[in-house]
Structure 1
Amino acid sequence: MTARYCSLPRQPAPSFAPGLAAERLSALTGGRRMWVNGTVLHYYFFDAGTDASVIPVPGTGETRRVSWVGAEEQREVVREGFRQWQHLGIGVTFAEVGDRREAELRVGFQSGDGCWSAVGRDALAVGRGERTMNFGWDLTAPGERGTALHEIGHALGMLHEHQSPVAGIHWDDEAVYADLAGPPNFWTRDTTYANILRRLDACEVNGSVWDPQSVMGFTLGPGLVLEPEQYRAGLRPPGSLSPADKEFALRWYPPPGPARPPVLVPFRSAPLRLGSGAQADFTVEPPETRAYRVGTFGDADSVLVVFEERDGEPRYLAGRDDGGTPGNATVRVRLVSGRRYVVRVRLYSTWGSGETAVMCW
């Protein structure tokens, strides 16, 4: 029998201005979902009786409510998944919160709705009362704990490994469609194509080579893969973080350095001097309480985020992504004297000949 598979929510393709250079477009496509390093991702488990979906009852014209609230043993599997990713030493950290308004990641357990997650920063476009992640079957069943690791990988910005164009997989398309149309997935052809057969753009993949052991891959039954020949009888990843999974996460989210970031002094620009995908961090200690602007300068595509330190933890205050536009990322925020703020700038790429910089004024 076919395994149960993650089904990612369909998202419209990104829309960039026509005429962008191929290198610039590749950087935008590959990095647009990734968080700035140093982000604290707060996660929340739905816990109210009103947290539910209303779904139709087939053939009756009636509806029923299906809860998003999960049992404690299910929540603990997800917590352990967050801990395993965290123990890699990545620069993004996870913190459970009891208020959904404070959470970037909101986890539900609607039975029958499959397992899925928003990918990386796509979660920010989801309404505060809605799920960004769902677990629709028993995570404590044998072999299912890796499902939590898989969905958290999506939340970090990773995509399905078996869809990598460097994998060299040749599918028996009709066998795949027929297999996924039956139990336990009951997928439409569109869902099967989007989550299995569609090849990703080369700049979206998790690494430069295919990793058949990745936690972001699927268990495959016999008869679905024609090539490589050794996988005609099936493929069963171990359901744990592979060395390549760990390398990818640490490359995008390296451990923080021991030193405090340099101070960004108001009205004094700081050169960035960043390569593609690199990040610069600064602290701001405003001399007076007022509205400030924080922005980048130069011919570059970047993500700029301002955090306020609260009890030693950076909390999101404002952010802007200027990727693919002719302008620069600028935010207007009220900063309070006596408090400390952190500015993080992650670069997609530079596309002009001048210097790039960041300034607070």
Structure 2
Amino acid sequence: MTARYCSPAQAPAPAFATGPAAERLGALASGRRMWANGAVLHYCFFDRDTDASVIPVPGTGMTRRVSWAGAEEQRDVVRACFEDWQDLGVGIAFAEVDDPSEAELRIGFQLGAGSGSAVGRDALSAGRHERTMNFGWDLTAPGERGTALREIGHALGMLHEHQSPFAGIHWDDEAVYAGLAGPPHHRSRERTHYNILRKLDPDEVNRSVWDPESITEFTFPSGLALEPEQYRAGLTPPGTLSAAYKEFALRWYPPAPPSGPATLVPFRSVPLGLGPGGQADFVVDPPETRTYTLGTFGDSDAVVVVFEERDGETRYLAGEDDGGTPHNATISARLVKGRRYFVRVGLYSARGSGETAVMCW
């Protein structure tokens, strides 16, 4: 089977403050793409004639439309892979919707365009009628189901395993460039460097141990890796969710506690008591309809996300990341009496000895 490589969308590095805030880059970089645990991620498939790319026709000066619609059997593979992730027991839920404007994850099937996905919350920066995930080859072919599992992993915020600085892979760079320049990949040197050869910063990866069986690890043939020696003849991961990655997913997205979230009452602060990487969830039942401010205070780096419950399902309403600056994350949102809202606070790191708390006012 020909090795196929996906290309998560290239996103600019976040602009963090200098000075003391720069010292907190590690905590921020490792979690900034992850979703708030407990969220429902809605996905949709493009399926209309208007859902298409306009691409040039080589040598003609003309363009043509290429559909993003996928056959039902292709969609079924992706649906089954969402179920595989869900069956791990993660605190994230997935729901299919028909309207792209209602989906955080929008999936196309443009053949020949490669497979790739926005990484985690980077999907929120894409336009509402743009793809955040594409599949460029037949997912029903033998061995290709792992592609869908991998792209969903990227959508959850997980990066390429082979780019981990802890992998210890020493590539034959020119062999990699040459191997990916021709069919079926046709990749530029820049794209190959970004998705294959470039090492992630140690502070950017989420795990300190390389997992060669990870779903985000690529198959690569012999002659590309010089070290570790046992992989000079190539590497073929199983294309399934490895035990280490299951543990990783459950650590980032643990199941909700049976007790449910605490209630956040207006004008009453609640201490967070979180460690780095922790999350606290609260429910808000507004006593009146008005614009509320929700946020943290104290010496910490945090992200605050607000969801609204609609028809028994949580929908993203607003979010704010303090970005490692001295300013606390706060959100102003109109909350309606009779509706229920959920506030989720994720802590990157706490500084000093002061108390960190959340309040609605």
**TM-score relative to the length of structure 2:** 0.98
Residue equivalent to 2:294: 294
Q: What is the distance in 2 between the residues matched to 1:274 and 1:198?
A: 34
Matched, 1:160 2:136: no
Residue equivalent to 1:255: 255
Residue equivalent to 1:201: 201
Identity across the alignment (%): 74
Q: 2:308 aligns to what SS in structure 1?
A: strand
Cα-to-partner distance string for 1:81-112 (whole Å, 9 max, x where unaligned) = 10000000000010000111110000000111
Contact 1:55–1:65 (CA under 8 A) maintained in structure 2: yes
1:225–1:42 Cα change, 3 Å: same
Q: What is the distance in 1 between the residues matched to 2:13 and 2:282?
A: 33
Residue equivalent to 1:42: 42
Q: 1:283 aligns to what SS in structure 2?
A: strand
Which 5+ residue runs of structure 1 have no aligned equivalent? none
What amino acid maps onto 1:26 in structure 2? G
**1:147 Cα deviation from its structure 2 partner:** 0.1
Residue equivalent to 1:281: 281
Q: 1:55 aligns to what SS in structure 2?
A: strand
Q: 1:162 aligns to what SS in structure 2?
A: helix
Q: 1:214 aligns to what SS in structure 2?
A: coil
Q: What is the distance in 2 between the residues matched to 1:79 and 1:280?
A: 30
**1:77 Cα deviation from its structure 2 partner:** 0.5
**1:319 Cα deviation from its structure 2 partner:** 1.3
Contact 2:21–2:326 (CA under 8 A) maintained in structure 1: no
Q: What is the distance in 1 between the residues matched to 2:170 and 2:255?
A: 37
What amino acid maps onto 1:51 in structure 2? D
**1:39 Cα deviation from its structure 2 partner:** 0.5
**1:338 Cα deviation from its structure 2 partner:** 2.0
Cα-to-partner distance string for 1:43-91 (whole Å, 9 max, x where unaligned) = 0001111100010011111111100010000000100110000000000
**1:330 Cα deviation from its structure 2 partner:** 1.0
Residue equivalent to 1:20: 20
Which 5+ residue runs of structure 2 have no aligned equivalent? none
Contact 2:16–2:22 (CA under 8 A) maintained in structure 1: no
Residue equivalent to 2:172: 172
What amino acid maps onto 2:88 in structure 1? L
What amino acid maps onto 2:8 in structure 1? L
Q: What is the distance in 1 between the residues matched to 2:249 and 2:36?
A: 12
Q: 2:281 aligns to what SS in structure 1?
A: strand
Q: What is the distance in 2 between the residues matched to 1:307 and 1:49?
A: 33
Q: What is the distance in 2 between the residues matched to 1:264 and 1:291?
A: 15
Q: 1:204 aligns to what SS in structure 2?
A: coil
Residue equivalent to 2:114: 114
* Higher mean C-alpha displacement, 93-102 vs 325-334: 325-334
Cα-to-partner distance string for 1:127-154 (whole Å, 9 max, x where unaligned) = 0010000001110111100000000000
Q: 1:286 aligns to what SS in structure 2?
A: coil
Task: Spell out structure 1 runs of 4+ moving beyond 6 A.
Answer: none
Residue equivalent to 1:346: 346
Residue equivalent to 1:97: 97
Q: 2:178 aligns to what SS in structure 1?
A: helix
Q: What is the distance in 2 between the residues matched to 1:319 and 1:169?
A: 37
* Higher mean C-alpha displacement, 302-311 vs 42-51: 302-311
Contact 2:25–2:203 (CA under 8 A) maintained in structure 1: no
Residue equivalent to 1:304: 304
**1:183 Cα deviation from its structure 2 partner:** 1.0
RMSD: 1.2
